[in-house]
Amino acid sequence: MSAIKDEVIERFREYLRIPSVQPDVDYSDCVKFLKGQAKDLDLPVSVHELVPRKPVVVITWTGTNPELPSILLNSHMDVVPVYEEHWTHPPFEAVISEDGFIYARGTQDMKGVGMMHLEAVRALKNNGVRLKRTVHVSFVPDEEIGSADGMEVFSKSEEFRRLNVGFGLDESMPGTGDVYEAFNGERTSRPLKVTCTGIPGHGSLLNDNTAGEKLHYVISKFMKLREEERKKLVSGTPYGNVITVNLTQTEGGVLVNVLPEFLSVSFDMRIPPDLDHQELEDMIKSWCEEAGDGVTLEYYKKNPEIKSTRIDGSIPFWTAMKSVVNDMGYKMNCTICPGATDARFVRNQGIPVISFSPIINTPRLLHAHDERIHVDEYRRGISVMEKILTAVANV
Protein backbone atom coordinates (compact mmCIF):
# COMPACT_ATOMS: atom_id res chain seq x y z
CA MET A 1 0.00 0.00 0.00
CA SER A 2 1.51 3.30 -1.07
CA ALA A 3 1.82 6.35 1.15
CA ILE A 4 -0.73 8.22 -0.98
CA LYS A 5 -3.24 5.40 -0.66
CA ASP A 6 -2.60 5.32 3.09
CA GLU A 7 -3.56 8.99 3.29
CA VAL A 8 -6.78 8.33 1.38
CA ILE A 9 -7.82 5.61 3.79
CA GLU A 10 -6.73 7.54 6.88
CA ARG A 11 -8.81 10.57 5.89
CA PHE A 12 -11.82 8.29 5.58
CA ARG A 13 -11.17 6.65 8.93
CA GLU A 14 -10.83 10.04 10.62
CA TYR A 15 -14.30 11.03 9.41
CA LEU A 16 -15.77 7.68 10.47
CA ARG A 17 -14.45 8.10 13.99
CA ILE A 18 -16.66 11.15 14.55
CA PRO A 19 -19.74 9.73 16.37
CA SER A 20 -22.40 11.87 14.69
CA VAL A 21 -25.14 9.56 15.95
CA GLN A 22 -28.83 10.38 16.00
CA PRO A 23 -30.65 11.64 17.93
CA ASP A 24 -29.44 15.09 19.10
CA VAL A 25 -26.23 15.19 17.06
CA ASP A 26 -23.39 17.59 17.78
CA TYR A 27 -22.08 18.32 14.27
CA SER A 28 -19.19 20.55 15.38
CA ASP A 29 -16.50 17.88 14.87
CA CYS A 30 -17.84 17.06 11.41
CA VAL A 31 -17.73 20.74 10.46
CA LYS A 32 -14.19 21.07 11.82
CA PHE A 33 -13.06 18.00 9.85
CA LEU A 34 -14.66 19.19 6.60
CA LYS A 35 -13.21 22.68 6.97
CA GLY A 36 -9.82 21.02 7.31
CA GLN A 37 -10.42 19.05 4.10
CA ALA A 38 -11.36 22.23 2.25
CA LYS A 39 -8.19 23.93 3.50
CA ASP A 40 -6.06 21.01 2.32
CA LEU A 41 -7.73 21.22 -1.08
CA ASP A 42 -7.36 25.01 -1.20
CA LEU A 43 -11.10 25.30 -1.89
CA PRO A 44 -13.62 27.70 -0.37
CA VAL A 45 -16.04 26.32 2.18
CA SER A 46 -19.34 27.74 3.41
CA VAL A 47 -21.26 26.73 6.51
CA HIS A 48 -24.97 27.60 6.45
CA GLU A 49 -26.78 27.27 9.76
CA LEU A 50 -30.37 27.95 8.72
CA VAL A 51 -31.52 26.09 11.84
CA PRO A 52 -29.46 26.42 15.04
CA ARG A 53 -27.01 23.52 15.51
CA LYS A 54 -27.94 22.10 12.09
CA PRO A 55 -25.06 23.16 9.82
CA VAL A 56 -24.89 22.56 6.07
CA VAL A 57 -21.31 22.46 4.80
CA VAL A 58 -20.61 23.24 1.12
CA ILE A 59 -17.13 22.90 -0.43
CA THR A 60 -16.93 24.49 -3.89
CA TRP A 61 -14.66 23.77 -6.85
CA THR A 62 -15.26 26.47 -9.44
CA GLY A 63 -15.46 25.37 -13.06
CA THR A 64 -14.05 26.99 -16.17
CA ASN A 65 -17.58 28.07 -17.17
CA PRO A 66 -19.03 29.01 -13.77
CA GLU A 67 -22.10 30.58 -15.37
CA LEU A 68 -23.32 27.08 -16.32
CA PRO A 69 -25.65 25.30 -13.88
CA SER A 70 -23.51 23.47 -11.33
CA ILE A 71 -23.16 19.89 -10.13
CA LEU A 72 -24.16 19.02 -6.56
CA LEU A 73 -22.59 16.02 -4.81
CA ASN A 74 -24.63 15.58 -1.66
CA SER A 75 -24.20 13.41 1.43
CA HIS A 76 -25.38 13.49 5.02
CA MET A 77 -23.21 13.68 8.11
CA ASP A 78 -25.46 11.88 10.58
CA VAL A 79 -25.60 8.14 11.20
CA VAL A 80 -28.07 5.84 12.93
CA PRO A 81 -27.56 4.39 16.43
CA VAL A 82 -25.59 1.19 17.06
CA TYR A 83 -25.80 -1.83 19.33
CA GLU A 84 -22.11 -2.19 20.10
CA GLU A 85 -22.46 -5.64 21.67
CA HIS A 86 -23.40 -7.02 18.24
CA TRP A 87 -20.38 -5.57 16.43
CA THR A 88 -17.20 -7.52 15.67
CA HIS A 89 -15.18 -4.30 16.11
CA PRO A 90 -16.09 -1.02 17.88
CA PRO A 91 -18.33 0.92 15.47
CA PHE A 92 -16.51 4.24 15.84
CA GLU A 93 -12.90 3.09 15.74
CA ALA A 94 -12.83 2.36 11.99
CA VAL A 95 -10.85 -0.84 12.50
CA ILE A 96 -9.39 -2.42 9.37
CA SER A 97 -9.70 -6.21 9.64
CA GLU A 98 -7.06 -8.62 8.42
CA ASP A 99 -9.11 -9.28 5.28
CA GLY A 100 -9.22 -5.56 4.44
CA PHE A 101 -12.66 -4.44 5.59
CA ILE A 102 -13.16 -1.12 7.39
CA TYR A 103 -15.74 -1.67 10.13
CA ALA A 104 -17.61 1.49 11.16
CA ARG A 105 -21.04 3.04 11.26
CA GLY A 106 -21.32 5.22 8.18
CA THR A 107 -19.03 3.25 5.87
CA GLN A 108 -22.01 2.64 3.55
CA ASP A 109 -24.60 5.13 4.84
CA MET A 110 -23.27 7.56 4.00
CA LYS A 111 -19.92 8.94 5.10
CA GLY A 112 -18.24 6.58 2.65
CA VAL A 113 -20.02 8.09 -0.34
CA GLY A 114 -19.44 11.64 0.93
CA MET A 115 -15.71 11.01 1.17
CA MET A 116 -15.67 9.38 -2.27
CA HIS A 117 -17.17 12.61 -3.62
CA LEU A 118 -14.47 14.65 -1.92
CA GLU A 119 -11.61 12.30 -2.84
CA ALA A 120 -12.70 12.33 -6.50
CA VAL A 121 -12.46 16.13 -6.47
CA ARG A 122 -9.07 15.89 -4.77
CA ALA A 123 -7.69 13.41 -7.32
CA LEU A 124 -8.90 15.41 -10.32
CA LYS A 125 -7.70 18.72 -8.92
CA ASN A 126 -4.28 17.30 -7.99
CA ASN A 127 -3.92 15.95 -11.52
CA GLY A 128 -4.47 19.41 -12.98
CA VAL A 129 -7.93 18.65 -14.37
CA ARG A 130 -10.34 21.56 -14.88
CA LEU A 131 -14.04 20.87 -15.30
CA LYS A 132 -16.50 23.08 -17.16
CA ARG A 133 -19.14 23.22 -14.47
CA THR A 134 -18.69 24.27 -10.87
CA VAL A 135 -18.94 21.37 -8.41
CA HIS A 136 -20.46 21.80 -4.95
CA VAL A 137 -19.77 19.02 -2.44
CA SER A 138 -22.43 19.34 0.27
CA PHE A 139 -22.69 17.69 3.67
CA VAL A 140 -26.07 18.04 5.35
CA PRO A 141 -27.53 17.16 8.77
CA ASP A 142 -30.44 15.06 9.96
CA GLU A 143 -31.17 12.89 6.92
CA GLU A 144 -31.70 9.91 9.20
CA ILE A 145 -34.59 11.64 11.00
CA GLY A 146 -36.39 13.08 7.97
CA SER A 147 -34.26 16.11 7.02
CA ALA A 148 -36.77 18.73 8.18
CA ASP A 149 -33.87 20.82 9.55
CA GLY A 150 -31.44 19.63 6.89
CA MET A 151 -31.87 19.37 3.12
CA GLU A 152 -35.59 20.17 3.26
CA VAL A 153 -35.02 23.68 4.63
CA PHE A 154 -31.74 24.16 2.77
CA SER A 155 -33.23 23.28 -0.64
CA LYS A 156 -35.81 26.05 -0.22
CA SER A 157 -33.29 28.70 0.83
CA GLU A 158 -31.68 31.60 -0.99
CA GLU A 159 -28.31 30.04 -0.11
CA PHE A 160 -29.24 26.94 -2.10
CA ARG A 161 -30.63 28.97 -5.00
CA ARG A 162 -27.29 30.77 -5.33
CA LEU A 163 -25.56 27.42 -5.94
CA ASN A 164 -27.32 27.35 -9.34
CA VAL A 165 -27.57 23.56 -9.32
CA GLY A 166 -28.33 21.87 -12.63
CA PHE A 167 -27.83 18.24 -11.63
CA GLY A 168 -27.31 16.35 -8.40
CA LEU A 169 -25.98 13.06 -7.11
CA ASP A 170 -27.06 11.58 -3.78
CA GLU A 171 -27.06 8.14 -2.11
CA SER A 172 -28.40 4.78 -3.19
CA MET A 173 -27.17 1.45 -1.82
CA PRO A 174 -24.25 -0.89 -2.47
CA GLY A 175 -24.44 -3.43 -5.26
CA THR A 176 -24.02 -6.89 -3.76
CA GLY A 177 -22.61 -8.13 -7.08
CA ASP A 178 -20.92 -6.29 -9.93
CA VAL A 179 -23.91 -4.07 -10.81
CA TYR A 180 -24.16 -0.48 -9.55
CA GLU A 181 -27.48 0.54 -8.05
CA ALA A 182 -29.04 3.89 -8.91
CA PHE A 183 -32.38 5.54 -8.13
CA ASN A 184 -34.11 8.14 -10.28
CA GLY A 185 -37.09 8.63 -8.00
CA GLU A 186 -38.67 7.76 -4.68
CA ARG A 187 -41.97 6.62 -3.32
CA THR A 188 -44.03 9.17 -1.43
CA SER A 189 -44.23 8.55 2.29
CA ARG A 190 -47.70 9.31 3.64
CA PRO A 191 -48.10 7.90 7.16
CA LEU A 192 -51.74 8.19 8.19
CA LYS A 193 -54.22 7.62 10.99
CA VAL A 194 -57.88 6.58 10.77
CA THR A 195 -60.01 7.31 13.83
CA CYS A 196 -63.34 5.57 14.37
CA THR A 197 -65.83 6.91 16.91
CA GLY A 198 -68.74 5.18 18.63
CA ILE A 199 -71.09 5.57 21.59
CA PRO A 200 -69.63 4.27 24.87
CA GLY A 201 -71.52 1.45 26.56
CA HIS A 202 -71.21 -1.75 28.52
CA GLY A 203 -68.98 -4.42 27.04
CA SER A 204 -71.65 -7.09 27.56
CA LEU A 205 -73.94 -5.56 24.91
CA LEU A 206 -74.01 -5.97 21.12
CA ASN A 207 -74.73 -2.36 20.24
CA ASP A 208 -74.80 -1.10 16.68
CA ASN A 209 -72.44 1.47 15.20
CA THR A 210 -69.52 0.71 17.53
CA ALA A 211 -66.00 2.04 17.05
CA GLY A 212 -64.73 -1.55 16.93
CA GLU A 213 -66.95 -2.51 13.99
CA LYS A 214 -65.84 0.52 12.02
CA LEU A 215 -62.18 -0.11 12.85
CA HIS A 216 -62.50 -3.72 11.68
CA TYR A 217 -63.92 -2.60 8.34
CA VAL A 218 -61.12 -0.07 7.77
CA ILE A 219 -58.34 -2.46 8.77
CA SER A 220 -59.77 -5.16 6.49
CA LYS A 221 -59.64 -2.79 3.50
CA PHE A 222 -56.03 -1.78 4.18
CA MET A 223 -54.96 -5.38 4.72
CA LYS A 224 -56.59 -6.46 1.47
CA LEU A 225 -54.64 -3.74 -0.36
CA ARG A 226 -51.47 -4.87 1.42
CA GLU A 227 -51.97 -8.46 0.29
CA GLU A 228 -52.58 -7.39 -3.32
CA GLU A 229 -49.35 -5.39 -3.31
CA ARG A 230 -47.44 -8.19 -1.59
CA LYS A 231 -48.44 -10.55 -4.41
CA LYS A 232 -46.95 -8.10 -6.91
CA LEU A 233 -43.72 -8.11 -4.91
CA VAL A 234 -43.59 -11.90 -4.82
CA SER A 235 -44.12 -12.02 -8.59
CA GLY A 236 -41.03 -9.86 -9.13
CA THR A 237 -42.21 -6.24 -9.06
CA PRO A 238 -39.47 -4.09 -7.41
CA TYR A 239 -40.18 -2.56 -4.01
CA GLY A 240 -40.09 0.91 -5.51
CA ASN A 241 -43.08 0.10 -7.72
CA VAL A 242 -45.49 -1.24 -5.12
CA ILE A 243 -47.53 0.42 -2.40
CA THR A 244 -46.31 -0.71 0.99
CA VAL A 245 -48.90 -0.61 3.77
CA ASN A 246 -48.09 -1.63 7.33
CA LEU A 247 -50.23 -1.33 10.43
CA THR A 248 -47.91 0.21 13.01
CA GLN A 249 -50.02 1.61 15.89
CA THR A 250 -53.44 1.29 17.51
CA GLU A 251 -54.95 3.57 20.14
CA GLY A 252 -58.14 3.88 22.19
CA GLY A 253 -60.28 2.24 24.83
CA VAL A 254 -60.26 2.66 28.60
CA LEU A 255 -61.28 -0.71 30.05
CA VAL A 256 -61.80 -4.16 28.59
CA ASN A 257 -65.51 -4.11 29.59
CA VAL A 258 -66.30 -0.63 28.19
CA LEU A 259 -67.25 0.05 24.58
CA PRO A 260 -64.76 2.74 23.53
CA GLU A 261 -65.65 6.24 22.44
CA PHE A 262 -62.92 6.01 19.81
CA LEU A 263 -60.40 3.62 18.34
CA SER A 264 -57.68 4.62 15.90
CA VAL A 265 -55.23 2.78 13.70
CA SER A 266 -52.06 4.10 12.06
CA PHE A 267 -50.41 2.89 8.88
CA ASP A 268 -47.02 3.51 7.33
CA MET A 269 -47.80 3.90 3.62
CA ARG A 270 -45.35 4.45 0.74
CA ILE A 271 -46.71 5.27 -2.75
CA PRO A 272 -44.87 4.69 -6.06
CA PRO A 273 -44.33 7.87 -8.12
CA ASP A 274 -46.21 6.55 -11.16
CA LEU A 275 -49.41 5.94 -9.17
CA ASP A 276 -52.23 8.50 -9.06
CA HIS A 277 -51.87 9.75 -5.49
CA GLN A 278 -55.23 11.54 -5.46
CA GLU A 279 -57.04 8.46 -6.71
CA LEU A 280 -55.53 6.41 -3.87
CA GLU A 281 -56.53 9.04 -1.31
CA ASP A 282 -60.08 9.12 -2.67
CA MET A 283 -60.29 5.34 -2.33
CA ILE A 284 -59.16 5.49 1.32
CA LYS A 285 -61.70 8.24 2.03
CA SER A 286 -64.42 6.06 0.49
CA TRP A 287 -63.45 3.23 2.87
CA CYS A 288 -63.88 5.62 5.79
CA GLU A 289 -67.32 6.67 4.55
CA GLU A 290 -68.37 3.04 4.03
CA ALA A 291 -67.24 2.15 7.57
CA GLY A 292 -69.88 4.42 9.06
CA ASP A 293 -70.44 7.79 10.71
CA GLY A 294 -67.64 9.46 12.63
CA VAL A 295 -64.69 7.91 10.78
CA THR A 296 -61.93 10.37 9.91
CA LEU A 297 -58.64 10.26 8.00
CA GLU A 298 -55.61 12.36 8.88
CA TYR A 299 -51.99 12.31 7.70
CA TYR A 300 -49.06 12.53 10.07
CA LYS A 301 -47.29 14.18 7.16
CA LYS A 302 -48.78 14.50 3.69
CA ASN A 303 -45.54 14.58 1.76
CA PRO A 304 -45.86 16.02 -1.75
CA GLU A 305 -45.82 13.87 -4.85
CA ILE A 306 -42.46 14.44 -6.57
CA LYS A 307 -41.78 13.55 -10.18
CA SER A 308 -38.90 11.20 -10.89
CA THR A 309 -35.82 12.21 -12.85
CA ARG A 310 -36.31 11.09 -16.42
CA ILE A 311 -33.97 8.40 -17.76
CA ASP A 312 -35.34 8.36 -21.31
CA GLY A 313 -32.38 10.23 -22.81
CA SER A 314 -33.82 13.70 -22.22
CA ILE A 315 -31.47 14.43 -19.30
CA PRO A 316 -27.92 14.70 -20.72
CA PHE A 317 -26.31 14.28 -17.28
CA TRP A 318 -27.88 10.84 -16.89
CA THR A 319 -26.85 9.89 -20.42
CA ALA A 320 -23.24 10.91 -19.72
CA MET A 321 -23.20 9.09 -16.41
CA LYS A 322 -24.63 5.88 -17.86
CA SER A 323 -22.14 5.95 -20.75
CA VAL A 324 -19.19 6.26 -18.37
CA VAL A 325 -20.30 3.30 -16.28
CA ASN A 326 -20.85 1.20 -19.40
CA ASP A 327 -17.47 2.25 -20.83
CA MET A 328 -15.80 0.99 -17.66
CA GLY A 329 -17.34 -2.41 -18.31
CA TYR A 330 -19.96 -2.25 -15.57
CA LYS A 331 -23.74 -2.31 -15.54
CA MET A 332 -26.03 0.05 -13.67
CA ASN A 333 -29.52 -0.79 -12.47
CA CYS A 334 -31.74 2.31 -12.17
CA THR A 335 -35.00 1.92 -10.25
CA ILE A 336 -37.30 3.73 -7.82
CA CYS A 337 -35.87 3.98 -4.31
CA PRO A 338 -37.83 1.81 -1.84
CA GLY A 339 -37.08 4.26 0.98
CA ALA A 340 -36.33 7.97 1.04
CA THR A 341 -33.23 10.15 0.58
CA ASP A 342 -32.44 13.86 0.52
CA ALA A 343 -32.69 13.71 -3.28
CA ARG A 344 -36.46 14.21 -3.04
CA PHE A 345 -36.07 17.76 -1.76
CA VAL A 346 -33.72 18.71 -4.59
CA ARG A 347 -36.01 17.09 -7.18
CA ASN A 348 -38.86 19.10 -5.68
CA GLN A 349 -37.00 22.24 -6.81
CA GLY A 350 -37.19 20.98 -10.39
CA ILE A 351 -33.58 19.73 -10.45
CA PRO A 352 -32.75 16.26 -11.87
CA VAL A 353 -31.03 14.01 -9.33
CA ILE A 354 -29.70 10.48 -9.57
CA SER A 355 -29.06 8.66 -6.33
CA PHE A 356 -25.89 6.62 -6.80
CA SER A 357 -23.48 4.90 -4.43
CA PRO A 358 -20.25 3.92 -6.23
CA ILE A 359 -19.96 0.70 -4.24
CA ILE A 360 -20.24 -2.87 -5.57
CA ASN A 361 -19.33 -6.38 -4.37
CA THR A 362 -20.37 -5.39 -0.87
CA PRO A 363 -22.95 -6.85 1.53
CA ARG A 364 -25.78 -4.37 2.14
CA LEU A 365 -25.46 -3.33 5.77
CA LEU A 366 -27.12 0.07 5.88
CA HIS A 367 -28.38 0.52 9.48
CA ALA A 368 -27.19 -3.02 10.29
CA HIS A 369 -24.61 -4.50 12.67
CA ASP A 370 -21.02 -4.70 11.37
CA GLU A 371 -21.52 -2.10 8.64
CA ARG A 372 -18.33 -2.19 6.57
CA ILE A 373 -16.61 -1.63 3.24
CA HIS A 374 -13.47 -3.20 1.81
CA VAL A 375 -10.56 -0.83 1.25
CA ASP A 376 -10.29 -1.96 -2.37
CA GLU A 377 -13.98 -1.22 -3.02
CA TYR A 378 -13.59 2.18 -1.38
CA ARG A 379 -10.69 3.02 -3.70
CA ARG A 380 -12.58 1.67 -6.69
CA GLY A 381 -15.53 3.90 -5.73
CA ILE A 382 -13.28 6.97 -5.79
CA SER A 383 -12.03 6.04 -9.25
CA VAL A 384 -15.58 5.54 -10.51
CA MET A 385 -16.64 8.90 -9.04
CA GLU A 386 -13.72 10.62 -10.77
CA LYS A 387 -14.94 9.42 -14.15
CA ILE A 388 -18.60 10.15 -13.46
CA LEU A 389 -17.86 13.60 -12.11
CA THR A 390 -15.69 14.41 -15.13
CA ALA A 391 -18.49 13.33 -17.47
CA VAL A 392 -21.41 15.16 -15.80
CA ALA A 393 -19.43 18.34 -15.04
CA ASN A 394 -18.36 18.60 -18.68
CA VAL A 395 -21.86 18.23 -20.14
Which residues carry out catalysis?
A: 78, 143
DSSP sequence for 25-56: ---HHHHHHHHHHHHHHT--EEEEEEETTEEE
Q: Is 388 helix (H, G, I), strand (E, B) or coil?
A: helix
Question: What is the Cα–Cα distance from 392 to 386, expressed in whole angstroms?
Answer: 10
Angle between helices 316-327 and 375-393 (to 10 degrees): 140
Q: Tell me if 26 sits within 8 A of 142, measured CB to CB.
A: no
Query: What number of CA atoms fall less than 13 Å from residue 92's CA on the CB side?
Result: 12
Question: What is the Cα–Cα distance from 186 to 112, expressed in whole angstroms?
Answer: 22
**Beta-bridge partners for 296:** 195
Strands 95-96 and 188-189 turn out to be unpaired
In whole angstroms, how large is the CA radius of gyration of the chain? 24
- The alpha-helical segments, DSSP class H, found in the chain are 3-16, 28-41, 111-126, 151-155, 158-161, 211-234, 277-291, 316-327, 343-347, 375-393
Question: What is the Cα–Cα distance from 197 to 215, expressed in whole angstroms?
Answer: 9
Question: What is the Cα–Cα distance from 65 to 392, expressed in whole angstroms?
Answer: 14
Residues 6+ apart with CB under 8 A from 228: none
